[in-house]
Chains A and B, each alone.
Chain A
């Protein structure tokens, strides 16, 4: 289908974009468009106006500041994939970015768009949760910072208000080892289940592990039970087996034509185990 008719305006600053959001009811931010435009074409949503933020230079780019990586919300997946800074400072993000969609999608899609859309099968929410990212949101009255743990409130739903824009994502830049493993839908590349894991360890002794899962449930989550079973312990295959076996406890997994709930639940356990194995060598 074609989208329903809409007006289009390119904003040249964050302030202008917020002004437009506030003065046009039923307007929507357009960044890469790779979640929004398919929804428009299915007429799942019919905003009266699209506000294009892809030309706002202050929303793009990756820089280091006080030990953190600051990533502009309109930075494309491809820019993150190709960034030496990310490769060095955030192995988890470097592992995840190349796995999104395909290169054409990565040239258009943005990290901010992915996070704001909060698709239950999107990749970035898992990484944001695993690294305890801070999301900076701008509105008419200034900016506010929200922790990833508080950012996703349900399927396709975040704390961003209709007249606000996500401007920056701040993540630790300390080079903590991390990996993203995804069971890809063969057609769309979406995560049937995607697992983001970071692990600090020292000579076979685990410091801190974080495990975040996307694709399995209606909103991405941290597998904190499995994390607690690992933190501070000595690495062993048995420890990792045990922890991973509980990673899907209590989950209400999604069920669709690609995978029934029981399969997703199983995938969570298997993929958590694999990710832990790769990072901790056990």
Chain B
């Protein structure tokens, strides 16, 4: 399953980078994040309660940031498991200087999902994933642009 997106920020790439990879920012902006604990360099265990409308689930997972080239690009690796099913994915995040102290963040995500419910409800997953990704980046945007430059 592909999850792609493009998001623009009114800040330069270095600033956007620092917020996108800040553990406090991640904990605040990842939708439904209940806890996030550093377990190694750029590696976290995370618990989320997330979903659409009344259909929420709790997931435990691991997140690691890899191939980080500040302020250009990084990869985020995720694997998580919850009652509705499991997910494994990689997001390639690219930060592009768009001039005038603005940055375009390009996301290319690839995920596999499975488990009893994700397979039956597979039609709900890509729109839900897109929605959650949008929520994450909108929260990040507020955080980046909120802290005065």
Give the interface of A toward B (CB within 8 A): 1, 28, 39, 42-45, 47, 118, 120-121, 154-157, 218, 254-258
Contact = CB atoms under 8 A, between A and B. Distances in A.
B115 to A, nearest CB: 11
B127 A155 contact: yes
B127 A45 contact: no
A42 B54 CA distance: 13
B55 A256 contact: no
Nearest to B124: A155
A118 B55 CA distance: 13
Given A42-B120, A43-B83, A155 B54 contact: no
Interface in B103-132: 116-117, 120-124, 126-128, 131
A28 B54 contact: yes
B53 interface: yes
B52 interface: yes
B84 interface: yes
Residue of B54, B122, B127 with most partner-chain A CB within 10 A: B54
Interface residues of B, number: 19
Q: Which 4 A-B pairs have the closest CB atoms?
A: A218-B127, A256-B123, A156-B53, A45-B54
B52 A42 contact: no
Contact of B55 (A156, A254, A258): A156
Residue of B55, B56, B123, B131 with most partner-chain A CB within 10 A: B123
Nearest to A261: B126
B50 to A, nearest CB: 13
Majority secondary structure of chain A interface residues (helix, strand, loop or mixed): loop
A155 B54 CA distance: 11
Contact of A47 (B54, B121, B131): B54
Interface in B44-58: 52-57
B84 A44 contact: yes
B83 A154 contact: no
A218 B56 CA distance: 17
Contacts of B54: 28, 39, 45, 47, 156
B121 A44 contact: yes
Interface string B74-86: 0000000001100
A156 B116 CA distance: 20
A157 B52 contact: yes
Given A43-B83, A256-B122, A157 B53 contact: yes
A258 B120 CA distance: 11
Contacts of B55: 39, 44-45, 156
Given A42-B116, A44-B121, A254 B52 contact: no
Nearest to B83: A43
Contacts of B126: 254-255
B16 to A, nearest CB: 26
B117 A120 contact: no
A156 B123 contact: no
15 contacts: A28-B54, A39-B55, A42-B84, A42-B120, A43-B83, A44-B55, A44-B57, A44-B84, A47-B54, A120-B127, A154-B52, A154-B131, A155-B127, A156-B55, A255-B123
Nearest to B116: A42
A121 B121 CA distance: 12
A47 B53 CA distance: 13
B131 A155 contact: yes
B117 A44 contact: yes
Given A43-B83, A157-B53, A257 B116 contact: no
Contacts of A39: 54-55
